[in-house]
Chain A
Amino acid sequence: MLPLKSSFEDGSSGRASIGERKLSACVTSIELLDGEPVATLGDGRIVFLGQRRTVEAHAGAILCAAPATEESGLLSGGDDGRLRLTRQDGTETLFQGSKWIDAVASRRAGAYAFAHGRVLTIVEATGARRSLQMMGSVHAIVATELGCAVAHRDGVTLVGAVEDAILTEEFLPSVGGHVAISASPDGRFLVTAALDSSLNCWRLSDRAPSKMGGYSAKPNSMAWADGGKWLATSGETRLIVWPMSARGGLGGKAPVMLAPSRSLVSTVACHPSADLIAAGYRDGSVVLARRKVRIVRPVRGPTNDEITALRFDAEGERLIYGSAGGAVGSAHLRNML
């Protein structure tokens, strides 16, 4: 097996080169810290993939992570009840509770929000900390322009941090258990994955809801292409890419379906600028797909080790992936662009 670092330096061969190595536990997310890919693991470790440096951040699994804006740090929440901030030079505990930290999202200028049980805690850049009781245990949070949106039972709560002292709450109902959430980068749509394997959408201009059922599994992984005009999702035996029109929202038009497989897509990621969508499958394979020309290119073959994390780097030159079995690797994309 090639060491990861050599693949980061390689890339001159003219085809996607892959270096892969094995980490100590399930890769629960891959984030970028100062441009360097960082993996969070199921055994509480945070691994800086370029330097091969490991920080023991949590006593149990890392359940969620988000880059801390302005801090060049990584926020991580674990089943040890801790929220940690990890930087190049060390790690510190920001919060310690008794419930799991299931979700964290960072907002502009150092503000962030995290969830423990039913409680959502919002921390402003000033350090001011306020907590809200949600109507059910929080499964996921996404930052929005005005605050954050929180997925829980029977819908989503939009939390607005209008001023330092005022929090607003608006409930968007939809029966079922909402377990993953994403907001379009243009601020037009909010989407969730629900326990009944459906995709739920709200058009934020008028809160109009739409719902798309029939997925084979929960479409837990969602990624936006072209600034929010397209939504790629996991949960089917092919990559599903929905056109998100202002008029129709979700389901106004049929989706583009790419890269069929006998295995379910488990993770998706969209390139920051080019027409390139990455899909990872439960069987361990990874592909890159172009939506417009419908070309699919294999990156990694099946290994029976589910892909659990995918991330393009900030320049869009590399795709980094991680698996349930702890495999982590990267592919250069030069010839794909």
Chain B
Amino acid sequence: MSQLNEAIPAQIPVTLLTGYLGAGKTTLLNRLLTASTGKRYAVIVNEFGEIGIDNDLIVDADEEIIELNNGCVCCSVRGDLVRILGGLMKRPDRFDGILIETTGLADPAPVAQTFFIDEDVRRKTKLDAIVTVVDAMHFLDEVRLAHTMEEQVAFADVIIVNKCDLILPSQLVALDRHIRKLNPYARVHHAERCAIDLREVLDLGSFDLDRILETEPDFLDGDHHHHHDGGIGSLSIGHPGEVDPDKFFPWIQQMIERFGPDILRMKGILALRDDADRFVVQAVHQIVEGIHQRPWKTDESRQSRLVFIGRRLPEELLRDGFQKCCL
């Protein structure tokens, strides 16, 4: 990053709502808008559905995916979002946030990548969270048929399992297990008619990265690798200490270039040698970015962890490579 002499304007948080057809995205959207009284949101939808949206400013997008490099899906962005977000920034009234509802069939990658790749979009907005709504009744049947549903779950920071009242508790356990296999790092909430506290969905901040350092029952044995038949799996690699930045950065760059198409998301928190700050990295396919997040607190143990969600992840290669970067 070059040192440019510019004040960084406050970035407006953007929440991305995904989910398969009929899962309840618009219901969630209306709940959020109703519950957040006194706040102003711009809502970007793809098509006006049968359910009306109760908001002053609704923008009609047209899901236009633009490939920046010839044929590489990893470098595709949503051209319409670049245009719409640019237009919204011209308005004088500051929004508290922007909510984007995608169509049920949308691949979340180009939307997420838009917030990493496009310079104008990055400067003025930040992706706060990807929220995926899952239809409890139909997910397990439909996921076999639709690749998109898996990716929507794999990409999520927050997953709302909706219509939980329509299935048996045992079915819900099986559903949770399936979702956890696809994405062990997202926050999962159970809901009926998308009733959820908006604090669980809005203004989460920076992809909720702290979560990856939390110990979960699933992860008591440290490093973890989940796989399932559909090919999407996850991998968590930890190290109870520091990593060598001179080794780590070339290595992760190489891994991302090589396996980017299969890596849906990667997140990491690193304690770099000779660095007082917590360093956080994240990637969507081949787009990686890293920032100094904040100083490590005195009561925190300096540790490092990377988590990957993707298809056919080369577990041994990633694990061995990372170990070589550890101090």
Residue of B whose beta carbon sits closest to that of A175: B70
Mark B32-64 against chain A: 1 for CB-CB distance below 8 A, else 0: 000000000000000000000000010110101
B80 near A282 with CB under 8 A, answer no
- Chain B's interface size range is 20 to 34
A210 CB–B CB distance under 8 Å:
no
Q: A153-B64, A218-B119, A262-B3 are in contact. Are A63 and B87 (CB under 8 A)?
A: yes
Query: Complex: how many Å from CA A212 to CA B7?
Result: 28
Query: Complex: how many Å from CA A102 to CA B83?
Result: 9
Query: Complex: how many Å from CA A283 to CA B79?
Result: 26
A176 near B80 with CB under 8 A, answer no
Q: Which B residues lie within 8 Å of A261 (CB)?
A: 5
Q: Which of B62-77 contact A (CB under 8 A)?
A: 62, 64, 66-70, 77
Q: A118-B62, A217-B119 are in contact. Are A195 and B90 (CB under 8 A)?
A: no
B66 near A153 with CB under 8 A, answer yes
Interchain nearest-CB distance for A74 vs B (Å): 17
Q: Which B residues lie within 8 Å of A217 (CB)?
A: 119-120
Interface hit among A6-14, A23-31, A200-208, A247-255: A23-31
B4 near A237 with CB under 8 A, answer yes
B62 near A24 with CB under 8 A, answer no
Q: Which of A218-259 contact B (CB under 8 A)?
A: 218, 237
Out of B6, B67, B70, B92, name the residue touching A26 (CB < 8 Å): B92
Q: Which of A260-284 contact B (CB under 8 A)?
A: 261-264, 282-283
Interchain nearest-CB distance for A213 vs B (Å): 10
A98 near B60 with CB under 8 A, answer yes
Interchain nearest-CB distance for B293 vs A (Å): 24
A263 near B120 with CB under 8 A, answer no
A189 CB–B CB distance under 8 Å:
no
A60 near B91 with CB under 8 A, answer yes
Mark B179-209 against chain A: 1 for CB-CB distance below 8 A, else 0: 0000000000000000000000000000000
Dominant secondary structure of chain A at its interface with chain B: loop
B60 near A99 with CB under 8 A, answer yes
Q: Which B residues lie within 8 Å of A60 (CB)?
A: 57, 91
B66 near A176 with CB under 8 A, answer yes
Out of A43, A154, A216, name the residue touching B92 (CB < 8 Å): A43
Query: Complex: how many Å from CA A197 to CA B92?
Result: 27
Q: A42-B91, A102-B83, A179-B82 are in contact. Are A263 and B67 (CB under 8 A)?
A: no
Query: Complex: how many Å from CA A262 to CA B64?
Result: 34
B215 CB–A CB distance under 8 Å:
no
A176 near B5 with CB under 8 A, answer no
Query: Complex: how many Å from CA A318 to CA B80?
Result: 36
Out of B62, B66, B69, name the residue touching A177 (CB < 8 Å): B66
A79 CB–B CB distance under 8 Å:
yes
A117 CB–B CB distance under 8 Å:
yes
Q: Which B residues lie within 8 Å of A298 (CB)?
A: none
Interface centre among B69, B91, B120 (most CB of A within 10 A): B91
Q: A137-B64, A137-B79, A177-B79 are in contact. Are A42 and B4 (CB under 8 A)?
A: no
B5 near A61 with CB under 8 A, answer no
B118 CB–A CB distance under 8 Å:
yes
A136 CB–B CB distance under 8 Å:
yes
Out of A42, A117, A197, A282, name the residue touching B62 (CB < 8 Å): A117
Out of B79, B91, B120, name the residue touching A25 (CB < 8 Å): B91
Identify 16 residue pairs between A and B in the complex whose beta-carbon atoms are under 8 Å apart, listed by A's number: A25-B90, A25-B91, A43-B93, A100-B84, A117-B62, A139-B79, A153-B66, A153-B79, A177-B77, A179-B82, A195-B82, A217-B120, A262-B5, A282-B6, A283-B6, A302-B5
Interface residues of A, Cβ cutoff 8 Å to B: 24-26, 28, 41-43, 60-63, 79, 98-100, 102, 117-118, 136-137, 139, 153-154, 175-177, 179, 195-197, 216-218, 237, 261-264, 282-283, 302, 304, 326
- A42-B92, A63-B87, A137-B64 given; 18 more Cβ-contact pairs under 8 Å: A24-B92, A26-B91, A61-B87, A62-B90, A102-B87, A118-B62, A153-B64, A176-B67, A176-B68, A177-B77, A177-B79, A195-B66, A196-B68, A216-B119, A217-B119, A263-B6, A264-B4, A283-B6
